[in-house]
Amino acid sequence: MKHDLPSFAVLIDADNVNQESIAPILEEITRHARITVRRIYGDFTSQNLSAWKVKLAEHAIHPIQQYRNTVGKNASDSALIIDAMDLLHSRRFEGFCLVSSDSDFTRLATRIREDGLVVYGFGEKKAPKAFVNACDRYIYVENLLNTRAPDASAEIPTAESVPAGPNAPRAIDGSASAPDQIEPIPLAPAITAPLSFRPPALALNLLMRAYSNVADELGWALLGHLSSYIHANHSDFDPRSYGCTKFIDLIQKTASFELVQRQYKNGQSYFCRPASSAQPLETHTAAPRKSASRETYRAALVQAVSDATASNGWALVSAIGQKLKSAGRRVGESGHSTLTETLMATGLFEMRGSGAARYFRLRANGKAAIS
């Protein structure tokens, strides 16, 4: 039987994942792949893992028992790595999901990717950056837990009606669990506090940087290409970190992009470009000079473009840079790392071309924007 979705193996480090995370993690994986192997590794005779029994049966996860024969040594990690290599060499899979926040799996992730397979990582925000970057995508479980919708029909228990401690009912899939279904065994601490989302505006510099690399000759960027570029360079990027369900929601909430839907290949796709009202995001690493306001800097950009404009009405980006430098201004004053990002972030200019052959000119309404 032929399947449309790629085949993935899911390997779970029981010591580094909370039971409440399993359901949303598996749901997230099935959005992208078909799970053909589900294994979890740990010492399930220990008190803190013995409560996994019901959860494993519920999600058809095969437990791999590893006794702690030596204090300070984690046999579970070694078993997971050995199994992963065996599965990799079987050539049956197109990708792996490693569920852990442990840096011990960093080399495993890079080794799997070296064979051309996709690696998804799932873990908490405390995960080491090295492991996060070793994965094609790394999804924080905090984002998954905060986006799971509770059952609206379920009665919200009060503090007086719910027993405290490990006997308290825990919602796994949105429905309330009866108190007698929870065994009195210490569980890994659940993430119960509301997640503090980052304002969408904090993603603006990242979006602008990606836009400058994927925009076409007319200055439009396909949303799919924009998202792919960001994920390729930031494996832990997730719109849910900014309180947005989808990437397009994040684009809209920044209020810095013009968004249109038009014909692309065999269907309709969304394209974006910086809106005329887009403002560069000020950062602490590259603050504008104190004696110059944003408006005077924007005016300097307009003047540089004007001075560099050729007879065809367009100015080459390198020529603009030279004019800007001659005027005693720096790209770093804008808070952006490249001149292309700086120019597009203002929303004052049109762009065409790519790479070093990018050309700019003032939009028709550009002068009004800086007056």
**Nearest of 95, 97, 122, 96 to residue 17 by alpha carbon:** 122
Q: Which ranges in 284-328 belong to alpha helices (H)?
A: 294-308, 317-326
| Under 8 Å between Cβ of 108 and 84 | yes
| Under 8 Å between Cβ of 126 and 101 | yes
Superfamily of domain 200-274: LOTUS domain-like (3.30.420.610)
Would you state the pLDDT for residue 73? 55
CATH fold label, 292-362: Nucleotidyltransferase; domain 5 (3.30.420)
Would you state the pLDDT for residue 178? 43
In this prediction, the residues of the chain whose per-residue pLDDT falls under 70 are 1-2, 69-73, 147-197, 276-293, 365-371
Whole-model pTM over 0.85: no
Would you state the pLDDT for residue 196? 57
Question: Is the CA virtual torsion 254, 260, 263, 268 positive or negative?
Answer: positive
Residue type, 151: D
| 302-344 pLDDT, tens digit each | 899 999 999 899 999 889 988 888 888 888 777 777 888 888 8
Same fold, 200-274 and 292-362: yes
Alpha carbons 133 and 259: distance in angstroms, whole number: 30
Would you state the pLDDT for residue 161? 42
Alpha carbons 20 and 54: distance in angstroms, whole number: 12
Q: Please, is 254 exposed, middle or buried when counting C-beta atoms within 10 Å of its C-beta (0-12, 13-18, 19+)?
A: buried
| 250-295 pLDDT, tens digit each | 999 888 898 998 888 888 899 999 986 444 444 434 444 443 467 7
In the block, tokens 């979705």 appear at 5
Would you state the pLDDT for residue 72? 52
Q: Which two tokens stand for residue 275?
A: 């809106």
Q: What angle do CA 10, 72, 89 make, to 5 degrees?
A: 30
32, 139, 198, 203, 245 from 240: Cα distances, Å: 17, 10, 9, 12, 6
Where along the chain do its domains lie? 7-146, 200-274, 292-362
DSSP strand pairing (257-264 vs 267-274): antiparallel
DSSP strand pairing (95-99 vs 34-42): unpaired
Would you state the pLDDT for residue 293? 66
Would you state the pLDDT for residue 264? 87
**CATH code at 7-146:** 3.40.50.1010
